[in-house]
Structure 1
């Protein structure tokens, strides 16, 4: 019996960690990162001491909870860079990133935040932004992306996308896709409709 005790404890600890992460993901998705740690512990049915033993800060909890999404963001950026057409690659990144962020309010906050104690989270964020900056440079060189585009425009886009509210995830994603289409047209160097819109304004 004593030989089996350490394994049982390890199993319990693993179960607690999984419940904490599940609770954090659910609460972050619906309410953002302002959810109190005590509420996460309550949802996970563990004590606050157990929560802090696994995750000493909310930053480390967020980094772990959103690890998959951060890796997906990196994959989107890599996919865009691999496209021989830099404008098409840039559009792909915008479309897929908007949809990913529309599915989880907390992830947008985590992505835009600076977490000095969560190295993996910060590293993944910086990798993605650096890759998008390189893709933007290529799209500008190809004459497809507005010359005045800056990386902060991407952050502004994510902030606006986060403001989309709908009754269901599906409705929010649909609205986000429409928003992404408008953003892409705004980022184009020479949208097909530019002359027509300018003429309408003059009239």
Structure 2
């Protein structure tokens, strides 16, 4: 095998891996974590054996997808901390995290399931939570955030946000924005009435 042939094979393998990751990310976001490997392989136009050659198990594929999303969430919190006004920083974090969860059902469910258990994401998760806790303390010290607020209140909002059901991702995102605005009003130490984003017509809740 020539050097050029080996280089081409490595390039093809990298391309296949990136395509599988991109397809899996989109599939889990829309269909949740139950999308089977064979369906991901079909959409990526490779065989199931190729998916397993790169990732070994579905759990390994999910871990690779989640790693990218965890980095994105850490970046959201970092941007929030960089804002001069801690309340505006916290508002940015809540709004953007809820938007991410609204558009990615797989990520929302996986993070919720793994938050309280040891995982390969623990170091990244712990750093992000520590940064978020710093932002919360700053907002309380500034008198903007109610004193009895705890980090679990953000998790509670994200869990409720996950329950939004809409006909399209755009409608789900619009509904999430309104819900985020309502949650932020409840988090403020001294709520100031602000116009809410437009309401979205959603299916009736199932009993």
Aligned length: 192
Q: Which residue of 2 aligns with 1:179?
A: 179
Q: How does 1:120-139 map to 2 (within 5 A)?
A: 121-139=121-139
Matched residue SS, 2:35? coil
Partner of 1:164: 164
- What's 2:20 paired with? 20
Offset, 1:24: 0.4
Question: What's the TM-score once normalised by structure 1's chain length?
Answer: 0.82
* 118 and 64 in structure 1: CA distance in 2 versus 1, 3 angstrom threshold: farther
- Give unmatched runs, 5+ long, in structure 2: 194-207
Report the Cα offset of residue 178 of structure 1. Answer: 0.5
- Name stretches of at least 5 consecutive residues in structure 1 with no aligned partner: 194-203
TM-score scaled by length of structure 2: 0.81
Q: Distance in 2 between matches of 1:162 and 1:178?
A: 14
Distance 1:122 1:59 in 2: 16
Counterparts of 1:40 and 1:122, CA distance in 2: 27
Contact 1:30 1:104 (C-alpha < 8 Å) held by counterparts: yes
Q: Report the alpha carbon displacement of residue 117 of structure 1 after superposing the two structures with TM.
A: 8.8
Moved more, 166-175 or 177-186: 166-175
Question: Greater helix share, 1 or 2?
Answer: 1
Q: Does the 8 Å CA contact 1:78/1:131 hold for their aligned counterparts?
A: yes
Q: 1:17 & 1:3 partners in 2: Cα distance?
A: 21
How far did residue 188 of structure 1 move? 1.4
What is the alpha-carbon distance in structure 2 between the residues aligned to residue 125 and residue 175 of structure 1? 27
CA contact (8 A) 1:59 1:118 kept: no
